Amino acid sequence: MAEPIRGVLFDLDGTLLDTAQDLVRTLNRIRTTRALPEWPIDEMRNIANQGSKVILKQAFGLEDDSSQIKTLREEFLADYEEHLADHTQFFPNVLALLDHLDEIKLPWGIVTNKLTQHTHPLLKALKIADRAQSVVCGDTLALAKPDPAPILYACQMLDLDPKDCLYLGDAEGDVIASKAAGALSLVALYGYIGRGDDPIRWQADGYINDPLELIPWLKGR
């Protein structure tokens, strides 16, 4: 008989929050100062969960070793910090899921590669900072996803064994990290699935099209 899930962990961008519009607006403010055309929102949704370095490399056609990346990233992060909650919103039914977890007293937390300086103000702006019982950011530890360390640390914060936890994300790195940690891994197909990605090949434990579809998985594997 399957053991029930005792804790739930979430990725942030593309899983709990639709942050693409604020990210693309920051990017386009930077592009405008360089007389470049605006980047479309659909292009941002394609890579929004991959971090600022990937966004900037794609948007400006840069190589990994480009000397421009450091300057652009500093400008991008500073601007985003001023506008991170202008248009960001929960994906449909996310709040209903979080309400359900709170009602049944199932602890939940967040494991994201987003920087601390952006994560905590964003959670506060969206009024869930006090509800998440663990928050691990991309710079909380020396290692970030796809390394399992952040998920293991979040489980430790919840005082739970990883095998008793479920992790929901929308990227292959989320699946790699959660499986390596020993947690149940689910993919949010409603999130920022990249163009050309084949999530089924990630071999997660399950796939959901709506946040509320997570609830049956609380019964365990």
Catalytic residues: 11, 13
Residue 185 in 3-state DSSP? strand
Distance CA 141, CA 150 (A): 7
- Which residues, in sequence order, are CB contacts of 105 under 8 Å at separation 6+? none
- Which residues, in sequence order, are CB contacts of 181 under 8 Å at separation 6+? 148, 151, 152, 155, 162, 167
Name all contacts of 137-144 with Cβ < 8 Å and 24+ positions apart: 137/112, 137/113, 138/51, 138/112, 138/113, 138/114, 139/115, 140/116, 144/113
Residue 79 in 3-state DSSP? helix
Identify the DSSP state of 199: G
Distance CA 150, CA 142 (A): 9
Distance CA 23, CA 207 (A): 26
